[in-house]
Structure 1
């Protein structure tokens, strides 16, 4: 099926995965003037975007048939595999010369292999993990860590800049984008775990949580993650913008990558165990700041009784 005629001078873009990041990225593409086609496993997410002027598609294959650029914003490699090669998958419908932009956090070696698999179909590929959170995705201010062939970048044109304020080009073949992303996740996970540990100690010692937050965010011990995630703890709001289980996965990827070359990562390993403990305790689908709930004998803001476990 040919792409429909459009009055827009910009190419139509298909985006799969209207979660916390993908929803904002789709809105940024529309705001930049791109016709945007979307698909998500949740029909209500598609309907909400269609109500704002986007076009919904019933399957990844139906979406791929409409566009020459497909942006995938799903959770992991398994979901990416399914949307490409599963039933009604996009791969068979992608035209030769079209571009697949993969924005998930995955094993770098898997991303390298995916580039070769798509190249065999005549499809260009960008290894393009993202960072910045839902708010920055919605405002087009997030970061993309990309790697791919010159032909893939040429096909992307200004599409990446429509979604991100910073687009880093890290190599001419897939892999380095995913490697840099998991290093970012190493720091993010360790920082969240350390922030939770610090706040938990303050609560245990009877320090007012709001006062501690105010002091730390104006002192040398602050980090972006402390400032962002401990605000969730103060608000007692564990709505999952990024869930505990995301860091179980991402720090697992970090450790798997390092293990392959016997490289020690003691802080990453400890943080991974903390997120694993939180997930096993039943907090896996809560915001990643819920890792603070593993600490015994503290009363969290908004809680009427001890979180001791």
Structure 2
């Protein structure tokens, strides 16, 4: 495979994580071909360096490695096999890197379908948030065949500070990611509950935040998400409905083996309640809005 061809890397999905990953690849010296369903998103990226593509197929025709950073398995299916999908356009021996949070069985199925087309597949969910994606400091939980890893030597490290190799077939990466999401969802729900109790009891919200973030009860999610609450900024970096989806995947996986998850189940219900109350597209910290009888911080006036 010629070096100049390998230097063309595709990124499909320029959301909070995908845009940062594409910028990291650009900083590493790659020519990044991008595609996004939102009008103007790819063109905005290309104005600072890169190539805007009109469809996943156009990305697939140009790039030996295509990184997909869309929301869920349904969108991944469309990116690969829908009208103007990437799979049919990619040359034999090319690699598709799947970074979404999906049912592990779906990831296993994607690997089999792409292998039947002569393509390599890497199960590579991501974590760390938009800021770490933008700085190249995020985490990737990967699994795939040795031939898939051989196609992306150095590329994963250009996007992530920590790249974990968790097995030689697809599925393990996705399993570890949904376990991470179990903890993330429970931590956000618990953080919201704690802050809500403090507000109900009349504790100053900023003082409570300062004490907890310097005490044993702190978590990364409390420190990060309750800062959004203090600012009254519910702009969705990760929306309530993301955790409706992700905790649903956690519960589906556990249900298949009749494994009890009482805390994840409760957190899922909290996010479901927030979603149906009208906060589906707000930041996931908006789960605090389900608690009655509290006055939330109004941020800076």
TM-score category (smaller protein): over 0.9
Q: Distance in 1 between matches of 2:130 and 2:6?
A: 25
Question: 1:65-104 to 2 correspondence within 5 Å?
Answer: 65-104=61-100
Corresponding residue for residue 140 of structure 2: 144
Distance in 2 of aligned mates of 1:40 and 1:64: 13
Count of matched residue positions in the alignment of Structure 1 and Structure 2: 299
What is the distance in 2 between the residues matched to 1:237 and 1:140?
Answer: 25
Q: Tell me the TM-score normalised to structure 1 length.
A: 0.95
Match in the other structure for 1:201 = 197
Gaps of 5+ in 2: none
Determine if contact 2:6/2:63 at 8 Å carries over to the other structure: no
1:263 alignment partner in structure 2:
259
Match 2:31 to one of 31, 35, 52:
35
The runs of at least 4 aligned residues of structure 1 exceeding 6 Å deviation read none
Match of 2:213 in 1: 217
TM-score (norm. length: structure 2): 0.98
- Runs of 5+ in structure 1 lacking a partner? 304-309
Residue 51 in structure 1 maps to residue 47 in structure 2 = yes
Matches within 5 A, 1:116-135: 116-135=112-131
Q: Distance in 1 between matches of 2:6 and 2:98?
A: 20
Q: Aligned partners of 1:60 and 1:222: how far apart in 2?
A: 42
**Aligned equivalents of 1:205, 1:271: Cα separation in 2:** 22
User: What's the counterpart of residue 279 of structure 2?
Assistant: 283
Find the aligned partners of 2:251 and 2:282 in 1 and give their Cα distance: 23
Structure 2 CA distance for aligned equivalents of residues 10 and 82 of structure 1: 24
Match of 1:307 in 2: none
Q: Distance in 2 between matches of 1:84 and 1:9?
A: 21
Following superposition, the deviation at residue 9 of structure 1 comes to 8.7
Q: Does 1:243 align with 2:232?
A: no
- Give the aligned partner of residue 104 of structure 2: 108
**How many angstroms apart in 2 are the aligned matches of 1:245 and 1:233?**
17
Cα distance change on mapping 1:64 and 1:135 into 2, 3 Å? same
Correspondence for 2:175 among 173, 179, 183: 179
Q: Is the 8 A contact 1:10 1:33 kept in 2?
A: no
Query: How far apart, in 2, do the equivalents of 1:138 and 1:125 lie?
Result: 24
CA RMSD of aligned residues (A): 1.3
SS at match of 1:101: strand
